[in-house]
Amino acid sequence: MKKILSFCFLSFLTVIGFAQTFQATIQPLDASGNGVIVFVNTSAFPGITGKVSSLTITIAIPTSVGARPPISIDNTADPYITYDVYNAINQVVDGESHYIYNILGTGDVTQPGATMTWSSGSDVPMATIRFNGTNAAISSQIKMVSLPDGGSDPNPNSFFGFSVDGIDRVDEFAMFYGLPLISEAVNDGQGYFGTSFARTIPLVPLPVKFTSFNVVKKDNDGLLTWSIENESSMADHYEVERSLNAVDFTVINTTARKLNGASSNAYNYTDANLTAVRKTGLIYYRIKQVDKDGKFVYTDIKSVKVGSNGFNVSVYPNPVVSNSEVDINLNEAGRINIQLFDATGKLISASVLEGVKGLNTHPLNMSKLSSGTYMVRIIAGEQVQTIPVIKK
């Protein structure tokens, strides 16, 4: 099939002077491994505007993953294309047996909204392919392929095809781009021999980073808030842990990751009726972020004080590498004295802050101090609290 299409369209394009400029590549949808996105890119300047007539995508998945995984197509990038998926016979790609999927997309050229513009050199997403089943996390093994003469299936549709306004626009001599890339197909004007394909490049998620974690006491409740960066689909949930001695912690809440597609998110939890947990003294908290693969990371420990008038102090992060901050919760506005002592009791620094009712934050610069244990003393009226701080 591809042989006939290539010959006819090449001849047609030669007559009318259109260049075949589109290439394709494939990349993971996200770090979960459960999907890929097909992109197209054109070298035409200043670009191409038109309506997609057809888009043929061929996906190859190694049979070594187990049973053939079902796939589904998300056409959000261009909702005017309707896709049908056909399971072709297994074929060898790059020396290994693969499941072959022929994805045939038909555009709606009658709709005014179907017009798209592909700017020169820009990667434009065209379709999202999702994998289902127990062996779905396989995006790093997926290839987008174009097999010789459309493959050996009885219905030879195993190739990359892309037409705009009824014109075949595939760069027949370099169909794919991206790294790592193998493109062995040769087009002699009569058809293909050899195989072209583009592999996916596995995404390596950045470590999840807590950008803030705060605990304040309001009335008889503990209000916990935390913010996160680099949150990927590998993140599964957050566990709120509580302790009475800062050593032995118990999970009191599990919060699922927000499914909003953002990599930066904020969360909160209210630990109600603190005096039912402890009549007087400190209650300690930390947050545990857990990935789907079981990996996890903790925040530093923060605390609130019960059985008092609401005065509470915490230092975050602690231990500190260079800079930290002191959070002071006041029941009433007033002057705050902040003092830093070394292990011998020598005063290192002192600051005065005009505090407001509620949360007050003061920076603590320890970048020039030697490693060791220091003490932060907070004096607010008759209230005094001292907290050990470890400098790494």
Q: State the CATH number of the domain containing residue 107.
A: 2.60.40
User: Residue 134: which pLDDT band, with cuts at 50, 70 and 90?
Assistant: low
Listed residues 283, 307, 331: the one ending a domain = 307
User: Residue 202: which pLDDT band, with cuts at 50, 70 and 90?
Assistant: low
CA dist., res. 118 & res. 46, Å (int): 9
Q: CB of 378 within 8 A of CB of 325?
A: no
Question: Same structural domain for residues 30 and 165?
Answer: yes
Lowest-confidence segment of 45-59, 212-226, 286-300 by average pLDDT: 286-300
Question: Same structural domain for residues 184 and 219?
Answer: no
Average pLDDT score over the chain: 82
Is the pLDDT at 327 greater than 80, yes or no? yes
Q: pLDDT exceeding 70 applies to what percent of the chain?
A: 85
Question: Same structural domain for residues 374 and 236?
Answer: no
**SS3 call for 191:** coil
In angstroms and rounded to an integer, the radius of gyration of the C-alpha atoms of the chain is 30
Sign, CA dihedral 160-164-167-172, equals negative
In whole angstroms, how far apart are CA 356 and each of 121, 312, 336, 361?
54, 13, 10, 10
**pLDDT for position 259:** 74
Looking at the structure of the chain, the number of domains it has is 3
Question: Same structural domain for residues 193 and 260?
Answer: no
pLDDT per position as a tens digit, 233-283: 678 899 999 988 777 889 999 999 887 767 788 999 999 999 899 887 778
Question: Same structural domain for residues 38 and 163?
Answer: yes
Mean pLDDT score, 203-207: 56
pLDDT per position as a tens digit, 16-26: 334 578 888 88
Question: Same structural domain for residues 231 and 297?
Answer: yes
Question: Same structural domain for residues 263 and 137?
Answer: no
User: Residue 14: which pLDDT band, with cuts at 50, 70 and 90?
Assistant: very low
The whole-model pTM stands at 0.49
CA dist., res. 127 & res. 173, Å (int): 23
Q: State the CATH number of the domain containing residue 382.
A: 2.60.40.2550
User: Residue 70: which pLDDT band, with cuts at 50, 70 and 90?
Assistant: very high
Question: Same structural domain for residues 7 and 46?
Answer: yes
**pLDDT for position 300:** 82
Listed residues 307, 335, 362: the one ending a domain = 307
Tokens of 286: 């930390």
Lowest-confidence segment of 162-171, 196-205, 211-220 by average pLDDT: 196-205
**pLDDT for position 11:** 37
Mean pLDDT score, 296-310: 78
Q: Which residue has the higher pLDDT, 270 or 15?
A: 270
User: Residue 199: which pLDDT band, with cuts at 50, 70 and 90?
Assistant: low
Lowest-confidence segment of 88-97, 197-206, 282-291, 377-386 by average pLDDT: 197-206
Q: 251 is in which domain, residue-wise?
A: 205-307
Question: Same structural domain for residues 164 and 86?
Answer: yes
**pLDDT for position 192:** 47
Q: Which residue has the higher pLDDT, 242 or 306?
A: 242
Question: Same structural domain for residues 181 and 62?
Answer: yes
Is the pLDDT at 194 greater than 80, yes or no? no
pLDDT per position as a tens digit, 71-86: 999 999 899 999 999 9
Q: Which of 173, 197, 190, 168 is nearest to 96 (CA)?
A: 197
Question: Which amino acid, one-letter code, is at 197?
Answer: F
Q: CB of 38 within 8 A of CB of 126?
A: yes
Question: 2-11, 176-185, 211-220: which has the highest mean pLDDT?
Answer: 211-220
pLDDT per position as a tens digit, 220-241: 899 999 999 877 767 889 999 9
**SS3 call for 199:** strand
